[in-house]
Amino acid sequence: MATTVKQMLEAANAVVPKITPAQAQDMIARGNTLVVDIRDAPEVAASGKVAGAVHVSRGMLEFRADPELPSHDKNFAKDKTVILYCGSGGRAALAGKMLKELGYGQVFNLGGFKDWAESGGAIDKP
C-alpha cells in the first residue's frame, strides 16, 4: 500500500520527540550527546551549524550511522543521545525514525536550524 510524505512524517513524529533549543542545550551540557546537522552542504555553507555538530547530509546518514559499514562515522554510537536538525524539522523527523530503526535509543528532533539560531544557541560559522 502506498504511503504519503504526510503519513511518513506522522509516523516519524510519533517515535521521535521534538525538543526545544533550551532542552537541546541541557542535553548537550550533560554530555554523551551527538548533534547532527542533516541539511545539504550548501545550506550549512550559507548559515553555519550548531556549535560542535557533525554534518552528515540526510542522504548519507544511514551509511554513517550503521557501525557494520566501512563508511561508519565513529561519532555515531548507540549509547549516545542523538539530536537531529535540518531546515524546518521534517528531514530531522524522518532521519530520527531511521536511526531508531537502526537501534539508536535516545533520538530527538530539534527542528530547524533557524529555531536554534533565534534562541541564541552557539553557532560554528562557515
Active-site positions? 86
Residue 2, all three cell numbers: 502506498
- Taking each helix axis as running N to C, give the angle between helix 5-15 and helix 90-101, from 0 to 180 degrees, rounded to the nearest 10: 60
In angstroms, the CA 121 to CA 126 distance is 15
What is the DSSP annotation of 70-92? TT--TT--TTSEEEEEESSSHHH
Q: Are the C-beta atoms of 94 and 12 separated by less than 8 Å?
A: yes
